[in-house]
Amino acid sequence: MNISFTEKQQTYIAEQVDGGDFQNASEVVRDALRLHELFRNRVIEELRREIAKGWDGQSSERSVSDIIKSKTQKVI
C-alpha cells in the first residue's frame, strides 16, 4: 500500500513521533485511523437515531412549502 501525505500532514506526524507520543509514523497513522473509525461510527449511529425519531414520531400537518416559508420568514 502506498499512501501520500501533504507536507502539513508529514510535519504533524513527525512532530508526534519527535514529541515521544509515538515510536514511529505507522503508530500515528494507525491511531488516527482508529479515532476516525470511532468518530465515523458515532456520527452514523447518531444519524440513525435521529432518523428513527423522525419515522416513529407524529406526522406533521404542515406541508414542505409551509415549513420552508416559516424558515425563510424568520431570516428576513
Say what the pLDDT of residue 74 is.
Answer: 63
Say what the pLDDT of residue 1 is.
Answer: 87
CA-CA distances (angstroms) from residue 59 to 3, 5, 7, 63, 68? Answer: 48, 48, 51, 11, 17
Say what the pLDDT of residue 73 is.
Answer: 80
Say what the pLDDT of residue 75 is.
Answer: 57
22-53 pLDDT, tens digit per residue, is: 999 999 999 999 999 999 999 999 999 999 98
User: Could you list the residue range(s) of the whole structural domain that residue 30 is in?
Assistant: 7-75
Strand, helix or coil at 31? helix
Contact 16, 28 (CB under 8 A): yes
59-70 pLDDT, tens digit per residue, is: 888 888 988 888
Q: Which residues contact 71 (CB under 8 A, 6 or more apart)?
A: none
Q: Examine residue 1 and state whether it is found in any structural domain, yes or no.
A: no
Q: Examine residue 51 and state whether it is found in any structural domain, yes or no.
A: yes
Domain count, the chain: 1
CB atoms within 10 A of CB 28: 19
